[in-house]
């Protein structure tokens, strides 16, 4: 059993924020693999199904980014999912726009959503860090992540999302390095 988590904020005006890239990935996973209709459960929007003959739950926490761990802890306690079987998709300022890096465990690097998850379940889970880059001009990091993608970025985001989704079977097999290199070399 595997849990896919997409981080973001649940307000309509946040939909195209850089911080909501995790929600976009979960939406694409749901569509590509025909997971169930989203249902409000465990303080999130939950879907379920199978990918590569693996039982998968996918969730978008509705607790806002800074409290994502609350939703995740409730869900994994209910379904008895081990933290090592969790994959979290989130934005990363320190990675160039469009680049993707997958890793197991490690530091939150100041990402509030990851800090919340670490607080509630520990650090032994996988993360797919999707680069949103730093702004070219002097802008506060908080303002940058809450800003919408521009038109050019939205077009590129479609390609990035497609590359991630097409490589999900590799990710589910927990081949994180292969997943990262496959996604970035398409």
Strand order in the sheet with 44-51: 39-41, 44-51, 54-61, 2-6, 86-92, 126-131, 100-104
Decide: helix, strand or coil at residue 101.
strand
CB 176 within 8 A of CB 146: no
Active site residues: 19
* C-alpha span between 134 and 91 (Å, rounded): 11
């Amino acid at each position: 059993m595997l849990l896919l988590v997409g981080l973001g904020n649940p307000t309509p005006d946040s939909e195209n924020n850089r911080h909501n890239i995790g929600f976009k990935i979960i939406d694409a996973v749901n569509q590509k693999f025909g997971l169930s209709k989203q249902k409000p459960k465990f303080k999130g929007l939950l879907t379920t199904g199978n990918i590569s003959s693996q039982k998968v739950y996918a969730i978008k926490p509705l607790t806002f980014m800074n409290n994502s761990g609350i939703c995740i802890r409730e869900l994994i306690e209910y379904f008895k999912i081990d933290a090592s079987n969790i994959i979290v998709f989130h934005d990363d300022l320190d990675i160039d726009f469009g680049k993707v890096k997958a890793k197991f465990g490690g530091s939150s690097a100041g990402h509030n959503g990851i800090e919340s998850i670490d607080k509630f379940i520990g650090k032994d889970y996988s993360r797919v860090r999707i680069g949103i880059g730093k702004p070219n001009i002097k802008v506060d990091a908080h303002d940058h992540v809450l800003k919408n993608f521009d038109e050019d970025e939205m077009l590129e985001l479609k390609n990035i999302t497609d590359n991630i989704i097409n490589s999900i079977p590799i990710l589910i097999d927990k081949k994180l390095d292969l997943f990262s290199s496959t996604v970035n070399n398409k």
